[in-house]
Amino acid sequence: MKPDEVEALLDRFAPAAPPPYLEEKIRRRLVRKRSQAAVFAVAASLLVAGVTFWAIFGAPEPGGISGPAQQTEDEKKVAELVRTLETGDLVERDRAMEELKKMGTGILPNLRRELGNAADAEVKARLQAVIGYLAHPAFERVKEIDLTSTGGVECAAWSPDGRQLAVGQPAGVVAIYDTASWKEVRRLEMPGGVRNVALSPDGKLLAVQGDHKVSLLRAEGYSEEASMQVEAASGSFLFIDNARLAFSGLWRDCVSLFVVKLDAGTLTLARDPNATQPDCFAATRDGSWLACWHGGGLGEPEIEIRETRSWEEVVSVEPPEQRHGRKPQPFLPEVDWALAFSPDSKFVAGRSDESPLYVYETGGWKLMKAWEPHDRLPVAVGFSTDSRYLITAGADGLVRAWRCGDWVEVASANLDGQGVRLLPSPARETVAVAVRFSEQAAEAHIERLPAGQEAPQKLLIFSLREP
Amino acid sequence: MNRESCDEGELLRNYRQGDADSFAEIYRRFSAPLLLYAHSLTRDGALAEDLVQEAFAKLLGLDPPSLRDTLRAFLYAIVRNLARDWSRRARLREKSFPVLTPRAEPADVDAEMLSRALDRLPDEQRETVILKVYGEMTFDEIAALAGEPPGTVMSRYRYGLQKLAELLEEKP
């Protein structure tokens, strides 16, 4: 066979057609990208104008396939289904409701219009139920604080009542902000540096991790109550309860979990640091459980849950390995793990540098979902304070809200930057996305630093608002 | 508007202005060969679909004036770069190659035999043959994509066809 005959032969064949769902997947993704861009553009312009976003537009409504032809068909179908709600028997009405729910958020304007025109109370109630099912919350950017001139953001923590925000800065400063006025109300000089900050559940203690020391300060007056010399290590930093603090530190050259207790003005070890060397950890809101994510090393990766009084193991789950088929990830020499309990303790969500994001329910420790919430690592995770939404923020510059239960993405916002990283990042080549929440219901607060030394370093505050 | 006769730039511009049917035409033109190309690089069906998805998402997120290459060159370059990033972190686990489908009545070679022969070509030759025949790219475009001189690309294509001829004549 000659080369030109081979060429002719090749030409007699065509590439196999893509699977039918691929086009739909791409369309959905594009619609989502468009809605994100639209939300950001509107929010940005309204911030400048000082006008309230919600007062004018209401919630953005992502979803649905764009294009005039599709919208017309949707309108017709919605009208038909609403007629069924008016005239059909009970079974037909139920079916019509289910059909409407399946049509997605793109039909919300039509449904709202139909609701305005509906006279029958039952039809109104059914339409409201469908709208309630489809309507999604959305992120609203509340505040942006530029901290470039004062050294940027290293870490942050909310007071339990959400009225204050403690921001750790690399130059060894903790700035306390009043969240009503967003004014700095206090500035604490910490000569040993600031790696992490946390506030106790009762709001009475401020914990600060420096390079070589952990300090506890009385929030009233910010006088030092106690301190302990420990070499800092990258990792979680949290109060288990009002008297116990958990943090990562170096113990015999190993990154270990320290649990210390405030006892008569002294910090003492409440657990042997040799016991656990987790990659990250998280506590339930009531402090009864501590979850530790062990990345594996020589063993299998696992999430270990322990009761925090006896330190007995509650359960240990081994997430399935799901690397095959993952999207390509940029190679990152340093990535962080993430782990969080929902405030109602029903779910725990976590991911490692190599795994997808896993969500387990804590009743039967069943794996609810495993997926890649962002295109780029690392990813920070947290839950809204009402436990209804899982929030993720990724290095792709997005923050996303996922509805607990069906884990459908219901809102997203743009962090208007790239190279965002998790907090804390000791290497500091690029710094942070962190997701934290105040006690005010359904509020999500995200802070981030863009990549690069010269980039402005800002604290971005978002709220997750219901429509 | 007859979208089939629109050039690539016009399609992209129309899509950006809200014409959903222009996307359908862009997808119709490029999705199948792009998927074949992604599959040939990754040997992983699910991953290949992800790469194609990513490439379209990136393309359609662009403003047309910022597109410096042709639409075709842009899509193939995205898939190539993503596949390269992926291959740094993962080993090729299984050898599988998508089956081609005959355009009309096939003769003495069936689609599977041809797919297997393509699969056995050296990577550079396979890439060049797929881009030339199924991606309908010129040698200059392939050269730009691969970062090689056009002469090298032409040689790869010629050697690829010769090798394919040998492979197809081999007895099973």
> A321-368, pLDDT tens digit by residue?
654 344 444 333 334 578 889 888 999 998 876 678 899 999 999 999
Interface of B with A in 81-120 (CB under 8 A): 82-83, 85-86, 88-90, 93, 98-104, 106-107, 109, 111, 114
d(CA A38, CA A190): 42
Condensed to tens digits (0 to 9), the pLDDT of residues B20-60 reads 778 888 888 889 999 999 988 887 777 888 888 888 887 77
Q: What is the arithmetic mean of pLDDT over A281-301?
A: 79
Chain A interface test: which of B78, B109, B163 (most A C-beta within 10 Å): B109
Residue B31's Cβ-count burial label (10 Å; 0-12, 13-18, 19+) is buried
Q: Do A23 and B35 touch (CB under 8 A)?
A: no
Chain A interface test: which of B43, B75, B164 (most A C-beta within 10 Å): B164
Condensed to tens digits (0 to 9), the pLDDT of residues A6-18 reads 888 888 888 888 8
Q: Do A12 and B102 touch (CB under 8 A)?
A: yes
Contact criterion met (CB below 8 Å) for A94 and A57: no
DSSP assignment string, A378-427 = -EEEEE-TTSSEEEEEETTSEEEEEETTT--EEEEEE-S-S---BSP-TT
| Residue whose C-alpha is closest to residue A197's, from A214, A212, A184, A180 | A214
Chain B positions in Cβ-Cβ contact with residue A329 (cut-off 8 Å): 85-86, 89
A445: β partners: A436
CA angle B148, B154, B157 (to 5 degrees): 110
pLDDT at residue A290, rounded to an integer: 95
Condensed to tens digits (0 to 9), the pLDDT of residues B81-103 reads 877 766 654 444 444 555 677 77
ipTM for the predicted complex: 0.80
More confident residue, A308 or A37: A308
- Alpha-carbon distance A355 to nearest alpha carbon in chain B (angstroms): 13
d(CA A327, CA A371): 11
Reported confidence tier of residue B4, pLDDT bands at 50, 70, 90: low
For residue A338, the number of C-alpha atoms closer than 13 Å in the C-beta half-sphere is 32
d(CA A110, CA A116): 10
Contact criterion met (CB below 8 Å) for A418 and A430: no
Number of neighbouring beta carbons within 10 Å of residue A165: 26
pLDDT at residue A298, rounded to an integer: 45
Name the pTM for this structure.
0.53
- Nearest residue in chain B measured CA to CA from A36: B61
pLDDT at residue A377, rounded to an integer: 66
Average pLDDT, rounded, for chain A: 73
Number of neighbouring beta carbons within 10 Å of residue A57: 15
